[in-house]
Amino acid sequence: MSTQTELQQTIQDMVDSHRGILAADESSPTIAKRFKAINLESTEEHRRAYRSLILSTPGLGEFVSGVILFEETLQQVSDDGISLPQLCVQQGIVPGIKVDKGKIPMPNAAGDEITQGLDGLALRLEKYKAQGARFAKWRNVYHISDTTPSAVAITANAEVLARYAAICQSMGIVPIVEPEVLIDGDHSLKRCSEVSELVFHALFHALHQHHVVLEHIILKPNMMISGKLYPQKATPEEVAEDTIRVLRRTVPAAVPSINFLSGGQTPEEATANLNAINCLGQQPWQLSFSYGRALQEPALKAWQGKSANAQQTQSALYKRARLNSAARTGQYMSSMESE
Contact between 56 and 87 under an 8 Å Cβ cutoff? The reply is yes
CB proximity list for 120: less than 8 A, separation 6 or greater: none
Give the long-range contacts of residues 71-74, CB within 8 A, separation 24 or more. Answer: 71/97, 71/98, 71/128, 72/28, 72/44, 72/47, 73/24, 73/25, 73/47, 73/48, 74/128, 74/131, 74/132, 74/133
Residues labelled as active-site residues: 178, 220
Contact between 39 and 82 under an 8 Å Cβ cutoff? The reply is no
| 200 closest CA partner among 247, 160, 263 | 247
- Name residue 110's amino acid: A
Contact between 137 and 25 under an 8 Å Cβ cutoff? The reply is yes
* pLDDT at position 27: 86
d(C-alpha 308, C-alpha 326), whole Å: 29
* pLDDT at position 1: 78
- 181 φ/ψ angles, rounded to the nearest 5 degrees: -80, 115
Burial class (CB in 10 A: 0-12, 13-18, 19+), 231: exposed
Q: What string of pLDDT tens digits covers the 339 residues of the chain? A: 799 999 999 999 999 999 999 999 998 889 999 999 999 999 999 999 999 999 999 999 999 999 999 999 999 999 889 999 999 999 999 999 999 999 999 999 999 999 999 999 999 999 999 999 999 999 999 999 999 999 999 999 999 999 999 999 999 999 999 999 999 999 999 999 999 999 999 999 999 999 999 999 999 999 999 999 999 999 999 999 999 999 999 999 999 999 999 999 999 999 999 999 999 999 999 999 999 999 999 999 999 999 999 999 999 999 999 999 999 999 999 999 998
- Name residue 244's amino acid: I
- 283 φ/ψ angles, rounded to the nearest 5 degrees: -120, 175
CB proximity list for 76: less than 8 A, separation 6 or greater: 47, 48, 51, 52, 83, 84
* pLDDT at position 202: 98
Q: Which conformational region is residue 334 in: left (phi greater than 0), alpha (psi within -120 to 50 degrees), or beta? A: alpha
339 CB neighbour count, 10 Å cutoff: 8
Q: How many domains does the chain have?
A: 1
Contact between 35 and 46 under an 8 Å Cβ cutoff? The reply is yes
Biggest CA pair distance of the chain: 54
Contact between 174 and 136 under an 8 Å Cβ cutoff? The reply is yes
Contact between 62 and 325 under an 8 Å Cβ cutoff? The reply is yes
d(C-alpha 223, C-alpha 196), whole Å: 9
Characterize 144-179 residue by residue with b for buried, 16 or more Cβ atoms within 10 angstroms of its Cβ, and e for exposed: beeebbbeebbbbbbbbbbbbbbbbbebbbbbbbbb
CATH of the domain at 17: 3.20.20.70
Which range of residues forms the domain containing residue 328?
A: 3-338
Contact between 242 and 189 under an 8 Å Cβ cutoff? The reply is yes
* pLDDT at position 2: 93
Q: In this structure, are strands 113-115 and 103-105 parallel, antiparallel, or unpaired?
A: antiparallel
Q: Where are the beta strands (DSSP E) in the chain?
A: 20-24, 64-69, 94-98, 103-105, 113-115, 135-142, 174-181, 218-219, 257-260, 286-291
d(C-alpha 263, C-alpha 294), whole Å: 9
Contact between 21 and 294 under an 8 Å Cβ cutoff? The reply is no
